Amino acid sequence: MGLMILFGVFFLGLIVGAPVAFAVGLAAVVTFIHEGLPLFVGFQRILSGISVFSLLAIPFFIFAGELMLHGGISTRLVRLASAAVGRVRGGLGLVNVTSSMLFGGISGSAVADTSALGSILIPVMKEKGYDGDYAVNVTVTSSIAGVVIPPSHNMILYAVAAGGGISVTKLFIAGIVPGVLMCLALAVAAYVVAVKRGYAGEAFPGWRALIISFAAALPGLLTAVIIVGGVLSGILTVTESGAFGAIYAIVITGLVYRELRWEPFKQAVYQSVRTTSLVMILVGCASAFSYLLALYSVPELLSDALLKISDNPYVILLLLNLLLLGLGMIMDMAALILICTPIFLPVAEQFGMDPIQFGIIMMINLGLGLCTPPVGSCLFVGSVIGKVKIEHAVKTIWPFYLALFAVLMLVTYIPAISLTLPGMLG
């Protein structure tokens, strides 16, 4: 009965339009009352959920991403990608994918990627004769590389939701190969669709222009190198690396590129504070929610239910992927990481999956949800920028979905793809 109340109140909150964090918190409070548990226990869980040192890295990563968004780095990355791959047939599609791979590794946010690069590339692609749905689909699907390629604040959320026993550094490194594979698969899909539709390539600007573009983009590219390199070298913790990355972003965008004026800076601060507040409220409420999930033995119940369907690990892992994909279509990514990790991770581990590998699988699955209706925030942003109806974009997005799903299956059934680099760390 208590479990029914927990999920019933939660889904009722979502149906009436309450913010996810409030729906999670209200469901936890009502269930605590139903069970006769002291409410102060729930509030202790909320406070303990946000009193985690590694969470301090999140506002720094978010702030650094916002500074990149408003400071001119995205424009220089697009120029670099255009000079490098623009001459290929349907070159602007490949420019889009390459730019997302570069910018995603800096911002760590799919929505920021869609907003920053989409505002530049989608209008240009349409002006060059590319169909609006193609421009939107390439931008939206390639943007989810930002949640896999390090640094990604969603991986920090996963590490916290998993109980804090997972190395954030190893999670970061584990995302490199899958993230690059995702971009390569999307590049192939973009090229195939471009050839089918008869899109032309751009003229090669010459090696001199390529070198100049690289030199201009290099200071921005070094942001990700500094953040990840500081952690890998052991010189900086994840939190210290995030703080250093934010300071470096201010210096680059404000003093080197000289494009971060006062108004964009205030906007970056405002958006960072707003996003961080939402994330921290969600983390606290999800901590109380997870306490009740453990109390009701939800992971064990899910494991028993899956075993009734099959005891084949390959089938179970496929079912977990399908469940995550379905949930990603209807809920926000951060909320799902915090709620689903305590449920699904024990099941995945029971069937032999490494928690780091499962973290990457969860990122890809929930990243797909960001470009899938009805709650695909990246799809909404891209459609608004491209002035394309969502239903029109969804009708032609399937080649890009198939490319990403193929990578998801590879990462699921070939552990070495995500575990080889972390394993080299010891």
Give the pLDDT confidence score for residue 98 in this predicted structure: 78
In which domain, by residue range, is 142 found?
A: 53-424
What is the reported pLDDT for 209?
82
DSSP 53: G
Other CB atoms within 10 A of residue 58 CB: 25
Instruction: Give the pLDDT of residue 420.
Output: 92
Same domain (yes/no): 249, 212: yes
* Three-class SS state of 275: helix
pLDDT at 414: 94
- Whether 230 and 49 have beta carbons less than 8 Å apart is answered as no
- Residues 86, 166 within the same domain: yes
pLDDT score at 405: 93
* pLDDT at residue 375, rounded to an integer: 65
Q: State the pTM of this model.
A: 0.84
Q: Are residues 24 and 167 in the same domain?
A: no
Question: What's the confidence (pLDDT) of residue 281?
Answer: 86
Q: Does one domain contain both 358 and 419?
A: yes
- 32 with 75, same domain? no
**Residue 108: left if φ>0, alpha if ψ -120 to 50, beta else—which one?**
left
| 12 and 90 assigned to the same domain | no
Q: Is 214 exposed, middle or buried (0-12, 13-18, 19+ CB in 10 A)?
A: middle
Residues 13 and 117 in one domain: no
Domain-embedded: residue 324: yes
First CA to last CA across the chain, in angstroms? 45
pLDDT at 400: 92
- For residue 93, give the nearest of 180, 196, 182, 201 by alpha carbon: 201
pLDDT reported for residue 104: 66
Q: Both 123 and 249 in a single domain? A: yes
Domain count, the chain: 2
| Stretches in the chain below the pLDDT threshold 70 | 86, 104-109, 112-113, 116, 201, 374-375, 426
What is d(CA 49, CA 411) in angstroms, rounded to the nearest whole number? 30
| pLDDT on residue 58 | 81
192 & 220 share domain? yes
Looking at residue 374, its pLDDT comes to: 67
Within this chain, do residues 134 and 268 fall inside the same structural domain, yes or no?
yes
